[in-house]
Amino acid sequence: MQAPKIDQRSYKDIVAYTEACAKAFTEWRPLADNKPDGGRSLIRIFGHLATIVGDRLNQVPDKNFLAFLDLIGTSI
């Protein structure tokens, strides 16, 4: 049985949402033609970090299940 994913967002989803929030709540605008700039670089770094955290978070149900089995004295 596969445990449900807690965070189903992908890297692209996180970056797109973060860029949309940055445009809506700040005066930052990306440069034309997708040229790299400081804001976009920070958003991409944040996207990678958030993806790592999401992957770790998605492992929690399996780890809790294994801890429960250990508590009751059984294993898979």
Q: Kindly state whether residue 26 falls inside one of the protein's structural domains.
A: yes
Task: Choose the weakest-confidence range: 33-42, 43-52, 57-66.
Answer: 33-42
* pLDDT of res. 76: 81
Provide the domain count of the chain.
1
* Contact between residue 65 and residue 76 where contact means Cβ atoms under 8 Å apart: no
Residue 34 lies in a domain: yes
Confidence band, pLDDT 50/70/90 cuts, at residue 24? very high
2 domain residue, yes or no:
no
pLDDT of 63 over the 80 cut:
yes
Task: Report if residue 48 sits inside a domain.
Answer: yes
Q: Domain for residue 1, yes or no?
A: no
Indicate the pTM of the whole model: 0.82
Please give the residue range of the domain that contains residue 37: 11-71
Q: Do the domain assignments include residue 16?
A: yes
Q: Is residue 40 part of a domain?
A: yes
